[in-house]
Amino acid sequence: MQVIRSRDNPMAKALAQLAHSARYRRKQGETVLDGVHLVGSYLQAVGRPIAVAVSETGIRHPEIARLLEHPFMPSASVLTDVLFAECASVTAPVGIAAIVSIPQPPLAGLRDEPCLVLENIQDPGNLGTLLRSAAAAGICHVLLSQGCTLAWAPRVLRAGQGAHFQLQLHENVSLSDWAQHYSGRLVGAVMHDARPYWELDLKGGVALVIGNEGAGITQPIQALLRERACIPMTPGVESLNAAVAGSVLLFERVRQQAL
């Protein structure tokens, strides 16, 4: 078994750049999955990664050993523990990472399907949680405005816990342009001049719009909303976390669909 020890090795360089450079991820159209859960979820939902790397210690890990036997798994490159840690996107890597392509699903055909629309979400944890909730609530399409953090960044992937592979993620969308061709109803989460979310019809073709953590939905997008939903709270509480607010609306839709 040949072990990679040099930072100049092409595999080591690619892992490090994908883990730490958003510009490199955009340029290559690729990202890196760190850990057993993400790599396993990808194998199950999507298929064969472009490349896989493991650490010297990781290759002896029982769960990693099972993944390496998967029929879709390419031959793994083995890095020293120190080099693998330098290339990883996490501070305490388990010992396996995979390079995968970033999907680019077409947006043109999205006319009236239910979807989650995210405007200027900045926190990777919030974005990953929203994607996880969307997948759990049965929403397939997620639109992200040009001001959102990158959906396929390692921190978002970890927060999403595999939800990315169940969704059609449309990034860098001009929401105002898209909304002109969407025949469903846009329902946005706002703080004022809105009805309690449980009074609104969230079934069928509806786009649930969640805005920036601090500023909320911008005025141009608010002007396009068919309905404005609020989440009533105890007096004195300023607002809910964006991921929590989005999850409330998503699962209210699930409840209404089930009735």
Average pLDDT, 10 consecutive residues per value, the chain (259 residues)? 89 94 94 96 96 94 95 95 90 89 89 95 96 97 96 95 96 94 94 93 96 93 95 82 95 95
What local confidence, expressed as pLDDT, does residue 1 receive? Answer: 61
Return the CA Rg of the chain. 20
Would you give the DSSP letter of residue 194?
Answer: -
Angle subtended by helix axes 242-258 and 124-136, to nearest 10? 10
Residue 124 Ramachandran class (φ > 0 left, ψ -120 to 50 alpha, else beta): alpha
Listing from the earlier edge strand, what are the strands of the sheet with 185-189?
168-173, 141-145, 115-118, 206-210, 185-189, 227-230, 195-196
Q: Which residue has the tokens 């450079």?
A: 21
What local confidence, expressed as pLDDT, does residue 233 receive? Answer: 84
What local confidence, expressed as pLDDT, does residue 259 receive? Answer: 86
| Overall CATH class of domain 3-101 | alpha beta
- Please tell me the CATH superfamily of domain 115-258, with its number: SPOUT methyltransferase, trefoil knot domain (3.40.1280.10)
Q: What are the boundaries of each domain within the chain? A: 3-101, 115-258
What local confidence, expressed as pLDDT, does residue 191 receive? Answer: 86
> What are the structure tokens assigned to 226, written together?
């068919």
Task: Look at residues 152, 124, 211 and name the one whose alpha carbon lies nearest to residue 31.
Answer: 152
What local confidence, expressed as pLDDT, does residue 145 receive? Answer: 97
* Alpha carbon distance 258, 202 (integer Å): 12
**pTM (whole model) above 0.85:** yes
Name the 3-class secondary structure at 4.
strand
Is residue 145 packed enough to be buried (19+ CB in 10 Å), middle (13-18) or exposed (0-12)? buried
* Alpha carbon distance 163, 216 (integer Å): 24
